[in-house]
Amino acid sequence: MSVHSRIHSPALADKLMTAEEAAELIPSGATIGMSGFTGAGYPKAVPQALAKRIEAEHARGRPFKVSVWTGASTAPELDGALAKADGIEMRLPYQSDPTCRERINAGQMEYIDIHLSHVAQHVWFGFLGKLDVAVVEVVGIHADGSLIPSTSIGNNKTWLDQADKIIIEVNTRQDARLAGMHDVYYGTQIPPHRKPIPILSAGDRIGEASLRCDPSKVIAVVETDAPDRNSAFAAPDATSEAIAGHIIDFLGHEVKKGRLPASLLPLQSGVGNVANAVMAGLQTSPFEEMTAYTEVLQDGMLNLLRSGKLAFASATALSLSPAGNEAFERDLSFYRDRIVLRPQEISNHPEVIRRLGVIAMNGLIEADIYGNVNSTHIGGTRIMNGIGGSGDFARNAYLSFFMTPSTAKHGTISAIVPMVTHVDHTEHDVQVIVTEQGLADLRGLSPKKRAGQIIANCAHPSFRPALSAYYDAAMHRSPGLHTPHLMSEAFDWIPNWKAAQG
Q: Active-site positions? A: 295
- Site for its own copies, residues 69 to 128, rule: CB under 8 A: 90, 104-107, 110-115, 118, 122, 125-128
What is the chain's Cα-based Rg? 23
Residue choice 98, 196, 227, 308 for contact with its own copies (CB under 8 A): 196
Residue choice 215, 379, 473, 500 for contact with its own copies (CB under 8 A): 379
**Window contacting its own copies (CB under 8 A); options: 46-54, 144-152, 454-462, 472-480:** 472-480
Helices (H), 134-290: 156-162, 238-256, 273-282
Residue choice 327, 408, 445, 456 for contact with its own copies (CB under 8 A): 445
Binding site per annotation, positions = 270-274, 365, 385, 389, 409
Q: Is 394 in the site for its own copies (CB under 8 A)?
A: no
Give, to the nearest 10 degrees, the angle between helix 299-307 and helix 273-282. 10
Closer by beta carbon to its own copies, 179 or else 456:
456
Closer by beta carbon to its own copies, 118 or else 182:
118
- Give, for 233, the enclosing helix (H) or strand (E): none
- Give the whole-angstrom CA distance, residue 472 versus residue 98: 40
Closer by beta carbon to its own copies, 50 or else 387:
387
Residue choice 49, 181, 218, 387 for contact with its own copies (CB under 8 A): 387
Residues in contact with its own copies, total (CB under 8 A)?
84
State the SS3 of 265-331.
CCEEECCCHHHHHHHHHHCCCCCCCEEEECCEECHHHHHHHHHCCEEEEEECEECCCHHHHHHHHHC
Q: Is 53 in the site for its own copies (CB under 8 A)?
A: no
Q: Is 378 in the site for its own copies (CB under 8 A)?
A: yes
- Site for its own copies, residues 406 to 425, rule: CB under 8 A: 421-425
- DSSP 3-state of 7: strand
CA 376, 416, 389, 36 dihedral sign is positive
- Give the whole-angstrom CA distance, residue 166 versus residue 209: 20
**Window contacting its own copies (CB under 8 A); options: 75-83, 207-215, 227-235, 442-450:** 442-450
Q: Distance between alpha carbon 433 and the CA centroid of its chain, in Å?
A: 20
Q: Is 476 in the site for its own copies (CB under 8 A)?
A: no
Closer by beta carbon to its own copies, 55 or else 427:
427
Closer by beta carbon to its own copies, 186 or else 334:
186
Partner residues linked to 152 by β-bridges: 317
Residue 487, Cβ neighbours under 10 Å: how many?
10
For the CB of residue 143, give the shortest distance to its own copies in the complex, in Å. Answer: 36
User: In terms of DSSP bridges, do strands 416-417 and 413-414 run parallel, antiparallel, or are they unpaired?
Assistant: unpaired
Question: Under a CB-based contact definition with an 8 Å cutoff, are residues 479 and 495 in contact?
Answer: no
Closer by beta carbon to its own copies, 190 or else 469:
190
- Site for its own copies, residues 147 to 176, rule: CB under 8 A: none
Residue choice 33, 391, 418, 438 for contact with its own copies (CB under 8 A): 391
Q: Distance between alpha carbon 60 and the CA centroid of its chain, in Å?
A: 38
For the CB of residue 46, give the shortest distance to its own copies in the complex, in Å. Answer: 24
- Site for its own copies, residues 235 to 294, rule: CB under 8 A: 257-259, 261, 265-266
